A and B are shown apart, each in its own frame.
Chain A
Amino acid sequence: MSDILVNSRDQKFLLYEQLDVEKLFGYEKFKDYSKDVVDMMLGEAEKMAEEVLIPTYAEGDREGCRFEGGKVSVPACYQDAYRKFCEGGWLCPTKDPEIGGQGMPAAVFSACVEMMDGANFAFMMYPGLTAGAAGLVEKYGTDEQKEKYLSKMLSGEWTGTMCLTEPGAGSDVGALRTTAKRLPDGTFLISGTKCFISCGDHDLAANIIHPVLARIEGDPPGTGGISIFLVPKYRLNEDGSPGELNDVHTGNIEHKMGIKGSATCTLNFGDDGKCVGELLGKERQGMRIMFQMMNEARLEVGMQGLGHASAAYQRSLRYSKERIQSAPIWEMKNPAAKPVPIIEHPDIRRTLLWMKSYVEGLRALNYFAALALDMTHVAEKQREKDLWNGFLELLTPICKAFTSDKAMEICSYAIDIHGGYGYCSEYPVEQYMRDCKIATIYEGTNAIQALDLVGRKLGANRGANVTALFEKIGETIARAKGLPALQKEGGFLEEALGAVVELTRQFGRWGKSASFMIPVLNARPYLMILGDLVVGWLVLQAGAIAEEKLEGIYREKGAEGSRAKQRALARKDEEVAFYQGKVASAVYFTAAVLPTIQGRCRGIGLGDRTPIEMLEASF
């Protein structure tokens, strides 16, 4: 195992020991899956990530995309990688086999995608957006639209995008100005400019299908008046093949901090009044329809953060064992003392464990959300379906915003661990940080995610979703408290949970009062608090599972009650070392992070509103 991108043992722990995905295989929908099949798929995903995608990572960044003569080209090395990726069947594994997928559980796909995103996220945007756009056609398209577009998109022969943003309509999508004019044959003439469109133009595929948000002439302003249209780059001939250009022109591509292999395009629709779009779904349902793709994309952005965070940690771990610098602190007075690998220095160890526990917690958070998605498909009772759907809706903004914010911090620490070398392009960590940053911005900035959490998701279902989450956390508290080694940690989580429950109630009260601006003002810190709580819950749950396994192993090997024997065991046995590492993550995280939650909750609870009230002149 090279484990250059992920700790594959941890992925398997999470899938099989913590989330128990094998239970999914008992349902009709996933009956063709088994642990053997999944292990083999993980092996193939790792190969695809390491052998096909990693070699395109730095090269794609250096070469970037080019815009010449109105045409966009991707880094040359993407061509072969894209072909291999599509041939491997990786574009849409979670889709039904009838339409070209493999019916793969989303939780399993998460583990595959984590490796691929860590290998080259900029590349992954092309297939990712294509699968997302195809999903819209699948769900909302007419039979004729499906016939025309679906199989071509799901095979990767054509790609897809999502066209929301305009120069004057970023966070506020409702402000868009692109228009649609009815034609007698039921199609529409699209006119307007979209900007920042990822993979909006390129030379990887023969056609590009744009789902475009626009307003039909005469429809009301705001999000309620928006419709969605399928706009192919090339119109289709009678036989379904790409024909003449559909009056979609690329104005420019952006020059960016990162994800340079992903072409970010300004697209002009209908400059010559000849851009034809087909309505997707019903009129004025555009936002609702696009939200399907946006919700999926938000989870994918979470995975983007996770993939970078994991790779950054793996690289840092490797580097800290190789880089020799400084004698240990206890040899301070000894000029003849030998320098040691930096992993022996306390600050590096602490940083590594901080990164490790967050990476494991974020991994658990994102896979858990994917499992929730799977469960919404297979759960038999309505109540159970609602429960999982509630988790999914509540956790989506946290997966997106918390993961991406923490991933940036993790990438930043990875550079710190590499010292000056980390800042230079010889090591990949500086690119991780540049590529990762976009995750906090697109798909709705993290501030917008926080507003979604506080304004919509907390109160949804009359607060039942968040209450169910708190109950789940309570189960882990009880489990940890039952284990001598994690009793104290269970207590820490309980205290943190108590503080969050209280602040959440306070938000509810403020929300119904004249003080409703306080939750709005503090939405982002609240999201970060809830993220830490959820990660604390999941790392402690993992710690408890690992501790229970360790107890069995110690009993069997006669190492009960002897720290020395347990450590000796871990030196010989990788499994023991791994489980001890899981317990270490739990113990460290509960001590280093969870206690800060009470302080942060208390601060917000004070109800300070200075940022709102102070005059702009005073800034």
Chain B
Amino acid sequence: MNLIACVKQVPDTEAQIKVKADGSGIEEAGIKWVMNPYDEFGVEEALRLKEKAGGTVTVVSVGPARAMETIRTALAMGAEKGVHITDLDNADAFATASALAAAIKEIPFDLVFCGQRAIDDDSAQVGSILAELLGVPQVTIVTKLEVADNKIKAVKPIEGAQLLIEASMPCVVTAQKGLNEPRYASLPGIMKAKKKPVDVKKAADYGISADFKANVAKMMPPPSRPPGKIIQGDDPAVKAAELVKLLREEAKVI
């Protein structure tokens, strides 16, 4: 089976994010970068399928030079090779998906994994656009997957229920927490990863320009929360009346 896992490098969930003074993005100094956690589920699922049914896992990433670390992490986990598209800084979901699609079309593929969203921009679009561009079915937010007879059976939780969705392969699956427990990159894996091939590409190699459909006009820190107010007093009835008054006049919520 030819398995593809798309990965994005994002700031660690524990990183302290500071917005640049000019609003053009975040301060990158001192940030620890990691593989997008939802992409990890995708990589893990691809590796498990390979280990069960044979085949190869290729990781594809759009991102600046440092994103190579994330590709190497996936290789250290067990993927065979990588493709790195380096010059699409601040790309929107469409440009990213276009680059991924162009790269993936050059490789035979049966199943493509994406994370259900990236934890940095939270757009949750790349997997779906990618499926459209590849012209294949998609199942998003998958927590359980079975592959047999050139078909997938995927479980997708929705409000109050679970859907069991069948799709024919090739197709795109976006991974949700719960799909599996991603393995750690082992030390032997890290040593081997160094020697695995990674194709480094430019967007122009695929005829993609940096002319994006959507651009972030400005990034602003979330508004700081005004301090809370404690209503003083001994008589609950008086305090309740005061609360109602404040909710009506100050907070204007009732």
Contact = CB atoms under 8 A, between A and B. Distances in A.
A36 B73 CA distance: 11
A85 B189 CA distance: 14
14 contacts: A34-B194, A36-B69, A37-B191, A40-B69, A44-B76, A44-B190, A47-B184, A84-B184, A87-B184, A87-B186, A88-B184, A102-B188, A574-B30, A575-B29
Contacts of B183: 87
Contact of A89 (B32, B69, B188, B194): B188
B72 interface: yes
A185 interface: no
Interface string B182-200: 0111111111001000000
Contact of A37 (B184, B186, B188, B190): B190
A102 B189 CA distance: 10
Given A52-B184, A88-B184, A88-B186, 15 more contacts: A1-B14, A1-B32, A2-B14, A37-B190, A40-B72, A40-B73, A40-B76, A87-B183, A87-B186, A89-B186, A89-B187, A102-B187, A102-B191, A574-B30, A575-B30
A1 B12 contact: yes
Contacts of A575: 29-30
Contacts of A88: 184-187
A32 interface: yes
B15 interface: yes
B187 A41 contact: yes
A573 interface: yes
Interface string A76-96: 000000001001111001000
A500 interface: no
Interface string A561-586: 00000000000011100000000000
A369 interface: no
A104 interface: yes
A93 B188 CA distance: 9
A84 B72 CA distance: 20
A324 to B, nearest CB: 15
Size category, A interface: 20 to 34
A356 B69 CA distance: 31
Interface of B: 12, 14-15, 29-30, 32, 69, 72-73, 76, 183-191, 194
Contacts of A34: 194
Residue picked from B69, B72, B76, B188, most chain A C-beta under 10 Å: B188
A41 B189 CA distance: 10
A93 B187 contact: yes
A48 interface: yes
Q: Is the interface of B mostly helix, strand, loop or mixed?
A: loop
The 9 closest A-B pairs by CB, nearest first: A89-B187, A574-B30, A89-B186, A102-B187, A1-B32, A88-B186, A2-B14, A89-B188, A88-B184
A573 B12 CA distance: 19
Nearest to A574: B30
A90 B187 CA distance: 7
Mostly, the A contact residues are: helix
B187 A44 contact: yes
Contacts of B29: 573-575
A419 B178 CA distance: 41
Contacts of B189: 89
A93 B189 CA distance: 12
Contact of A40 (B12, B14, B32, B190): B190
Contact of A104 (B32, B76, B186, B187): B187
Nearest to B183: A87
Contacts of B69: 36, 39-40
Nearest to A9: B30
A101 B73 CA distance: 20
B191 A32 contact: yes
Nearest to B69: A40
Given A1-B12, A1-B32, A575-B29, A32 B194 contact: yes
Contacts of A32: 191, 194
Contacts of B14: 1-2
Interface string A414-435: 0000000000000000000000
B21 to A, nearest CB: 10
Nearest to A577: B30
Contact of B184 (A48, A97, A102): A48
Interface string A516-552: 0000000000000000000000000000000000000
Contacts of A97: 191
Contacts of A102: 187-188, 191
B6 to A, nearest CB: 20
Name the residue among A32, A37, A90, A97 with the largest chain B CB count within 10 angstroms.
A37
Contacts of A39: 69
A47 B29 CA distance: 21
A89 to B, nearest CB: 4
Nearest to B72: A40
Interface in A11-41: 32, 34, 36-37, 39-41
Contacts of B73: 40
